[in-house]
A = this chain, B = another copy of it.
Amino acid sequence: MADKEISLAVIKRLPKYYRNLAELMENRVERISSKELSERMQVTASQIRQDLNNFGGFGQQGYGYNVEYLYHEIGKILGLTRTYYMIIIGSGNLGQALANYTDFEKNGFVLKNMFDQNPELIGKKIRGIEILDAAKLTQYLKVHSVDIAAITIPKENAPEVALELVKGGVKAIWNFAPTDLHLPEGVKVENVHLADNLMRLSYSLKCEE
C-alpha cells in the first residue's frame, strides 16, 4: 500500500471515518453501504468511494463495507497498531481534561507523566498519573522515550518549552498554546487554536445577519 501518495486531504478525513466506524461497531452494525455511510458522515457517497479506493477499496458491490474490517484497516493506516508514549506539559484544567480522556489510551496513546511548575500541582496524581516538576523535563527526556507531548501552557512559555521537548527527542507536538510554533523540520505539530474556532463561528453568524 503506497501510503505516502495519499493526499493530505484524505488523510485528514481518515480519523472521521475511524470515529464513525467505531460508533457503528458500538451499535453492532456489521456492514454499511457507501450511501448510508455518506448520510451519517455528511459527505457524498462518491467522495467516500473515492477516499476508500485510495486503500484498494474495501467495499464489495451489493454488500457495502464490512465495518470491523474497514475500522481495522484504517487504524493500520493511521498507525494505531502500536503504542505512543505521551506527556502533557501544563497540568491546569486543560491538561487535566486531556489526562482524563481514557479514549486516547484505547487507541494506543498512553499518558506517562504530566508536568507543571506550580508547587501545588507537583506530586499530585490524575488517574494515577503523576505530575512532575517542569524544571526536571530535560532530565526526564534523557531517560524516558516520549513520542508525543501536549502543550497546555501560556503562549509566552510555549516556544521555549517546545524547543526543549524537541531537543529531548520528542517528534510530535500537540500544541494548545495560542501561538504558532516554529520548530525544526521533521517535527510534527498539531495545533488546537481554540480562538480560531470561535472566529469561524462569529464569521458564520455575521454572514447570517
Footprint of B on A, CB under 8 Å? Answer: 3-4, 11-12, 14-16, 18-20, 23, 40-42, 77-80, 82, 84, 92-94, 96-98, 100-101, 103-104, 107-109, 147-148, 171-172, 174, 178-180, 182, 186, 188, 190, 192-208
Cα–Cα distance between A76 and B188 once the two chains are bound (Å): 33
B79–A172 touching, CB < 8 Å: no
Contact (A188, B172) CB under 8 Å given A15-B200, A97-B97: no
A23–B192 touching, CB < 8 Å: no
B107–A199 touching, CB < 8 Å: yes
Q: For residue A97, which residues in chain B have a CB less than 8 angstroms away from its CB?
A: 92-94, 97
Q: For residue A11, which residues in chain B have a CB less than 8 angstroms away from its CB?
A: 200, 203
Q: For residue A195, which residues in chain B have a CB less than 8 angstroms away from its CB?
A: 15, 19, 101, 103-104, 107
What copy number does this chain have within its complex? Answer: 2
CB distance from A116 to the nearest CB of B (A): 14
B148–A19 touching, CB < 8 Å: no
Given A107-B195, A192-B192, 11 more contacts at CB 8 Å? A14-B199, A15-B196, A41-B180, A42-B180, A78-B199, A78-B202, A80-B199, A82-B206, A93-B97, A101-B194, A101-B195
Q: For residue A204, which residues in chain B have a CB less than 8 angstroms away from its CB?
A: 172, 188
Cα–Cα distance between A92 and B126 once the two chains are bound (Å): 14
A193–B15 touching, CB < 8 Å: yes
CB distance from A67 to the nearest CB of B (A): 16
CB distance from A144 to the nearest CB of B (A): 16
Partner of A200, one of B12, B92, B93: B12
Q: For residue A199, which residues in chain B have a CB less than 8 angstroms away from its CB?
A: 14-15, 18, 78-80, 107
